[in-house]
Amino acid sequence: MTSDMILPFYQALTEDVNALSAQVPALATDTLQDIRRKALERFSAIGLPTLKTEAWRYTNIQRYLKEFPYELLSTASPVSEAVINSTAIPELDCYRIVLVNGHLQADQSTLPQGKGITVGAMSAHTTAPGFVTYFNEQHHLAAESLAQLNTALFADGLYLELAANTVLDKPIHVVNVYSCTAHAFIQPRHLWILNRNAAATIIETSVHPETATIAFANSVLETVVLENAELWHYNVQQGAESFREVHTTAAQQHKDSRYHHFNFTLPNTPFTRNNLSVALNGSHTETNLNGLYIASKHQHVDNHTFMDHIMPDCNSNELYKGVLLDNANGVFTGKILVHQEAQKTNAFQQNNNLLLGAKADINSQPQLEIYADDVKCSHGFTAGQFSEESMFYLRSRGIGEDAAKALMVNAFSHDITDAVKVPALQHFLQTQIAEIMNN
Amino acid sequence: MLTIKNLHAEVEGKKILKGINLEINKGEMHAIMGPNGSGKSSLASVLAGRDNYTVTEGEVWFNGKNLLDMAPEERAREGVFLAFQYPVEIPGVSNLNFLKTALNEIRAYKGLPALEAREFLKLTKEKQQLVDFHSNLMNRSLNEGFSGGEKKRNEIFQLAMLDPQLAILDETDSGLDIDALRIVSNGVNKLRDAEKSFVVITHYQRLLEYIIPDFVHVLYNGRIIKTGTKELALELEERGYDWLKEELHLKESV
pLDDT at A272: 98
Is residue A61 domain-resident? yes
Residue A139 per-residue DSSP state: G
Domain boundary among A264, A282, A300: A282
Backbone angles phi, psi at A249, to 5 degrees: -120, 120
In chain B, domain spans: 2-253
pLDDT at A149: 96
Domain of residue A174 covers 9-282
Say yes or no for a CB contact (<8 Å) between A398 and B88.
Answer: no
- For residue B174, pLDDT beyond 90: no
Average pLDDT on A293-301 reads 97
Q: Residues 206 to 245 of B: which have CB under 8 A from any A CB?
A: none
Gap from A389 CA to chain B (nearest CA, Å): 7
| Maximal C-alpha separation, chain A | 72
Residue with more model confidence, A193 or B242: A193
Q: What single string gives the DSSP state of each residue in A174-217? A: EEEE---SS-EEE--EEEEEE-TT-EEEEEEEEE---SSS-EEE
**Pick among B41, B77, B82, B98 to test the A interface (most A CBs inside 10 A):** B98
pLDDT at B251: 74
Confidence of residue A1 (pLDDT cuts 50, 70, 90): very low
Gap from A25 CA to chain B (nearest CA, Å): 51
Say yes or no for a CB contact (<8 Å) between B73 and A401.
Answer: yes
Nearest chain B alpha carbon to A434: B101
Domain boundary among A235, A265, A282: A282
Residues of B in contact with A400 (CB under 8 A): 73, 105
Residues of B in contact with A388 (CB under 8 A): 51
Let me know whether A390 and A276 are in one domain: no
Alpha-carbon distance of A61 to A53, in angstroms, equals 11
Q: What percent of chain B has pLDDT over 70?
A: 99
pLDDT at A437: 87
- Which residue in the set A400, A410, A411 is minimally distant from B73, CB to CB? A400
- For residue B254, pLDDT beyond 60: no
Is residue A2 domain-resident? no
Let me know whether A409 and A271 are in one domain: no
Domain boundary among A259, A282, A305: A282
Confidence of residue A391 (pLDDT cuts 50, 70, 90): very high
Measured in whole angstroms, the distance separating CA A201 from the mean position of its chain's CA atoms is 15
Is residue A62 domain-resident? yes
- Which residue in the set B48, B92, B101 is minimally distant from A399, CB to CB? B101
CB distance B7 to B47 below 8 Å:
no
Give the total number of structural domains in chain A: 2
| Residue A266 exposure: Cα atoms within 13 Å on the Cβ side | 24
Let me know whether A98 and A247 are in one domain: yes
Gap from A401 CA to chain B (nearest CA, Å): 8
CB distance A160 to A121 below 8 Å:
no
- Please tell me the CATH code under which domain B2-253 is placed: 3.40.50.300
Q: Residues 150 to 189 of A: which have CB under 8 A from any B CB?
A: none
Gap from B73 CA to chain A (nearest CA, Å): 4
Say yes or no for a CB contact (<8 Å) between A400 and B87.
Answer: no
Task: Share the mean pLDDT of chain A.
Answer: 94
- Which residue in the set A395, A401, A411 is minimally distant from B90, CB to CB? A411
For the purposes of burial, counting CB atoms within 10 Å of the CB of A354, is it exposed (0-12), middle (13-18) or buried (19 or more)? buried
B79 at interface of A, judged by CB pairs closer than 8 A: no
Handedness of CA A410, A411, A417, A421 (dihedral sign): positive
Residues of B in contact with A412 (CB under 8 A): 92
- For residue B232, pLDDT beyond 80: yes
Range scoring the smallest mean pLDDT among A92-101, A220-229, B204-213: B204-213
B162 at interface of A, judged by CB pairs closer than 8 A: yes
B108 at interface of A, judged by CB pairs closer than 8 A: no
A345 at interface of B, judged by CB pairs closer than 8 A: no
Q: What ipTM did this prediction achieve?
A: 0.95
**Pick among A352, A394, A397, A399 to test the B interface (most B CBs inside 10 A):** A397
**Pick among B73, B80, B94, B159 to test the A interface (most A CBs inside 10 A):** B73
Confidence of residue A6 (pLDDT cuts 50, 70, 90): low
Is residue A344 domain-resident? no
Let me know whether A395 and A273 are in one domain: no
